[in-house]
């Protein structure tokens, strides 16, 4: 089992589970009566977040049908020319009809809003949803675009020299949310 990171911890496994359960309840209330609710995780760690929210919503009568999808924003990033190493293409998986669906994009950390903007651009290539909302496990403030979450687990503003890192057991072998210096090597 990986060691606990030596940085300020914002959420441990239990706190993450409680936060995701609350997000699921809020989304359920906000999407009451939707014929189809699509939870779409933004690669990489928005994907396990979407799956966990869907699992927490199972059995709740908030909408007729919940479907899952994933979105890869790599080709829609506005900083590709500045990157020294191109990110790995994961590919998007939207195997349902987006037209007229109620879509909730899921991302682990909301910062500048640029990733969400790219996700919306990619999503609209699949069709015209009835409504698009945003769920973020953590909102760290510092927006550069006018994008705000509809559902947020934790708001924690930090210095621009720091970042909030989220780890999921499915990807990293550990559930935790912590703050670290921006200069710390990251995937």
Cα-based angle 8, 12, 13 (whole degrees, multiple of 5): 160
Sorted by sequence, the CB contacts under 8 Å of residue 150 that are 6+ apart come out as 30, 104, 133, 134, 135
Distance CA 150, CA 105 (A): 10
Q: What pLDDT tens digit does each residue of the chain (187 aa) get?
A: 455 555 789 999 999 999 999 999 999 999 888 888 999 999 989 999 999 999 999 877 777 789 999 999 987 666 655 655 656 677 889 999 999 999 999 999 999 999 999 999 999 999 999 999 999 999 999 999 999 999 999 999 999 999 999 999 999 999 999 999 987 554 4
Instruction: Please give the model's pTM, rounded to 2 decimal places.
Output: 0.90
Mind listing the domains of the chain with CATH numbers? Answer: 9-78+92-181 (3.40.50.2020)
Look at the alpha carbons of 68, 25, 111, 103 in this order and tell me if their dihedral is positive or negative: positive
């Amino acid at each position: 089992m990986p060691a606990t990171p030596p940085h300020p911890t914002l959420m441990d496994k239990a706190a993450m589970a409680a936060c995701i359960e609350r997000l699921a309840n809020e989304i359920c209330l906000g999407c009451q009566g939707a014929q189809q609710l699509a939870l779409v995780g933004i690669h990489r760690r928005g994907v396990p977040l979407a799956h966990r929210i869907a699992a927490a919503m199972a059995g709740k009568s908030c909408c007729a049908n919940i479907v899952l999808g994933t979105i890869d924003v790599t080709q829609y990033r506005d900083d590709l020319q500045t990157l020294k190493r191109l990110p790995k293409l994961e590919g998007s998986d939207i195997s349902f009809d987006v037209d007229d669906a109620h879509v909730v994009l899921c991302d682990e950390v909301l910062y500048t809003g640029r990733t969400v903007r790219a996700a919306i651009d990619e999503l609209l290539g699949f069709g015209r949803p009835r409504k698009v909302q945003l769920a973020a496990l953590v909102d760290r403030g510092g927006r550069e675009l006018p994008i705000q979450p509809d559902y947020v687990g934790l708001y924690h503003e930090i210095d621009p020299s720091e970042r909030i890192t989220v780890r999921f057991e499915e990807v990293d072998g550990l559930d935790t949310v912590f703050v670290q210096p921006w200069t710390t090597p990251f995937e």
